[in-house]
Structure 1
Amino acid sequence: MADKGVTIRELAEAAGVSIGTVSRALKGQPGLSEQTRAQVLGVAQQMGYDVGKLRTGKPRRMLFLYSRSIGSLANNPFYSYVLHGAETACREAGVPLSIMSVLAGDDVAGQVRRHEADALLGAGYFDPEAMEAIRRCELPLVLVDHFYPGVRCVNDDNQLGAWLATRHLLEGNSQRIAAIFGPLAHYSTSLRAKGFRRALFEAGRLFDPDYEVTLDPALEYRDAGRDAMARLLALPEPPDAVFAYNDSTAMFAIEVCLEQGLRVPEDIRFIGYDDIEEAARNKPPLSTVKMDKEALGNVAARALIEGDIAPNDAALPVELVVRESSMVAPAAVAAMPSARKGRRQAA
């Protein structure tokens, strides 16, 4: 007997193909062989799959998902920009956009149904349980600042950005360069750590794990940034330069240094990542790696609107922005050994 309640996931398993392949076959989209398309359609007919479940054309309503673990979007400058970029694309296309937070254990599918969404834009890191719940919604999905196999993802070039930031500190002849990172399980953070280590390796610097610290997840965000810097300053030989995985963490760390009587950048140099508005207004103004945060959300939303959701990991460009927090005296630069060799783009 035909099962009218069969899901697209069950159909994909029965046909031995991916969910994306099933979606393209049923919608008549290009990118499949005729043999594969016929196989999927045949299995769908045998199982009584309701093709009406797969809506065609642009979405009628998009849902912006983010992890509740990051706190309020109002207090998170990075994702606020991403949301604004997505909202701009949706407004121009006449697609309503709503917002929902997600945490492991939530009834994600039930909440998505109440929003009446037929396209999902996920921003930031989702733990595996939450990610699986999102995938079970069986709706077109694009991720921003995250990576998941088989899903369209939009990120900035995190590894190159961290490489540029670390090379900048190296070219100022800093000898003890430290890094502060968030959870390395996060896709963007892990790539920034890789870029940081690669720059040290290419400069012939030995990697010292004491100079790389991660935020304590048990602490509030600001307290975690301050705690990380305090741990670095407690080392027998404290760092003379710090790369922080985002601007907010860099600014919290600078607070600690100034409170302890250190001068920035004379005694210790800093560079962050993201180029949030507060970075330029910080005292001293914070050097950073700039990305187009609104473009991340805009590109992801347009991909959903245009139906361009084939698995892909797009990397948007980044740019080094040098401000007072990482500047050095000209004499210090002139004294630097020829560490500029090997200046090649990080992949």
Structure 2
Amino acid sequence: MAEKRGVTIRELAQAAGVSIGTVSRALKGQPGLSEQTRGQVLEVAQQLGYDVGKLRTGKPRRMLFLYSRHVGSLANNPFYSYVLHGAETVCREAGVPLSLLSVQSGEDIAGQVRRHEADALLGAGYFDPEAMEAIRRCELPLVLVDHFYPGVRCVNDDNQLGGWLATRHLIEGGAQRVAAIFGPPTHYSVSLRAKGFRRALFEAGRLFDPDYEVTLDPVMDYRDAGREAMRQLLALPQRPDALFAYNDSTAIFAIEVCREHGLRVPEDIRVIGYDDIEEAAHFKPPLSTVKMDKEALGIVAARALIEGDTEPNDAALPVELVVRDSSRVAAAEPAAGRKGRRAAAALATERG
């Protein structure tokens, strides 16, 4: 009997040959499952002596917003601040309290989660494998935003298409030496934006030159790393005439360095970022970017948790190219824009 009382929801899912999300929905009596699957889960639960009382019915009583401490405070990270606001909006409307917790590997993550008395977890941003396993051991409904992990419900924007759109825009505007600055390649969104960047170069018949792609130094302060990456690109024998930065903040740091070197944006070098943070439109020059609905990421994730829809899935929300002065080439825009829209539609069709 002692062993049966210790059965976990993960062990129950493995024994039934289904996902943890399917077990959750079956035991809660939620829709979306065949009667055969529901009956199979309930039968295995009975055989193993699983304590159904472990799994509360209905919407969560409290949701916990998790983010990795390595991204810094949310006050200094505009992207995740918007995600949090979207999640908070949904939770407030549903009457579900939402609390906040930053975590990192090596800590007692499960213990911290228990102290918050959370029924559901919304994880935002990159968590290394050790942290992810600790989070999953909490055995609570989980949805990830801006990250991917096998067997977990994930909500992202269409990062690969966004990287492709940004790079294609620079190429169609006449750029010959397109450079890029990326963050850690272990981050899901960063890796896909880089993939879109390289694909656009390939489709344009450009040879990939690793010297024109720089990764931020992880041991440096974020702003310093962005500025140093741009200095590295400007020190090349043939400096780039266009830059795709994996986010808007890095693009802004890069433009600051260009000015210090006497370069004009966009006349000498065209620059585009990603995310469309509020500062992008008000920067001088206004920053071109790839826009996605950041609040929608939090809204979709929180709603999935409240509705119990945590089946493994990698949802990709749409993105949009926003052309402003930092990358604008007036004479090239109309034809390039039409061509780019046709190619973007083809890429989206191929991927979806």
Q: Structure 2 length as normaliser, TM-score?
A: 0.93
1:137 matched to 2:142: no
* Cα deviation digits, residues 146-199 of structure 1 (max 9, x gap): 111111111111111111111110111010000110011111111101111111
Equivalent AA in structure 1 for residue 280 of structure 2 = A
- Name the one with the larger helix percent: 2
Tell me what 1:285 maps to.
Answer: 286
1:284 touches 1:324 (CA, 8 Å); kept in 2?
Answer: yes
1:190 matched to 2:198: no
Tell me what 1:225 maps to.
Answer: 226
Q: Alpha carbons of 1:109 and 1:237: their partners in 2 closer, same or farther (altered >3 Å)?
A: same
* Cα deviation digits, residues 191-244 of structure 1 (max 9, x gap): 101111111111111111111111010101001100110110111101000000
> What is the CA-CA distance between 1:36 and the residue it aligns to?
4.1
Distance 2:41 2:288 in 1: 53
Tell me what 1:47 maps to.
Answer: 48
* Cα deviation digits, residues 291-320 of structure 1 (max 9, x gap): 111111011111111111111111111111
2:165 touches 2:321 (CA, 8 Å); kept in 1?
Answer: yes
1:61 touches 1:116 (CA, 8 Å); kept in 2?
Answer: yes
Tell me what 1:240 maps to.
Answer: 241
Q: Alpha carbons of 1:97 and 1:334: their partners in 2 closer, same or farther (altered >3 Å)?
A: closer
SS in 2 for 1:59: coil
Tell me what 1:112 maps to.
Answer: 113
* Cα deviation digits, residues 38-79 of structure 1 (max 9, x gap): 443233223321101111111100000000000000000000
More displaced stretch, 3-12 vs 46-55: 3-12
> What is the CA-CA distance between 1:335 and the residue it aligns to?
12
Q: Alpha carbons of 1:271 and 1:300: their partners in 2 closer, same or farther (altered >3 Å)?
A: same
Distance 2:90 2:34 in 1: 32
Query: Considering only aligned residues, what root-mean-square deviation do their CA atoms show, in Å?
Result: 2.0
The gaps in structure 1 that reach 5 residues or longer are: none
Equivalent AA in structure 1 for residue 87 of structure 2 = A
Q: Alpha carbons of 1:92 and 1:339: their partners in 2 closer, same or farther (altered >3 Å)?
A: closer
2:99 touches 2:116 (CA, 8 Å); kept in 1?
Answer: yes
Alignment of 1:202-213 (within 5 A): 202-213=203-214
Q: Alpha carbons of 1:334 and 1:251: their partners in 2 closer, same or farther (altered >3 Å)?
A: same
Tell me what 2:343 maps to.
Answer: 343
Alignment of 1:1-347 (within 5 A): 1=1, 3-330=4-331, 343-345=343-345, 346=347, 347=351
Equivalent AA in structure 2 for residue 292 of structure 1 = D
> What is the CA-CA distance between 1:12 and the residue it aligns to?
2.5
> What is the CA-CA distance between 1:11 and the residue it aligns to?
2.2
Distance 1:31 1:305 in 2: 15
Equivalent AA in structure 2 for residue 53 of structure 1 = K
Distance 1:316 1:9 in 2: 29
Q: Alpha carbons of 1:342 and 1:321: their partners in 2 closer, same or farther (altered >3 Å)?
A: closer
> What is the CA-CA distance between 1:281 and the residue it aligns to?
1.5
Q: Structure 1 length as normaliser, TM-score?
A: 0.94
Distance 2:237 2:165 in 1: 28
Q: Alpha carbons of 1:335 and 1:319: their partners in 2 closer, same or farther (altered >3 Å)?
A: closer
> What is the CA-CA distance between 1:324 and the residue it aligns to?
0.8
1:202 touches 1:342 (CA, 8 Å); kept in 2?
Answer: no
Equivalent AA in structure 2 for residue 242 of structure 1 = L
SS in 2 for 1:184: coil
* Cα deviation digits, residues 57-108 of structure 1 (max 9, x gap): 1110000000000000000000000000100010011110000011011111
Q: Alpha carbons of 1:232 and 1:321: their partners in 2 closer, same or farther (altered >3 Å)?
A: same
Equivalent AA in structure 2 for residue 218 of structure 1 = V
Aligned residues: 345
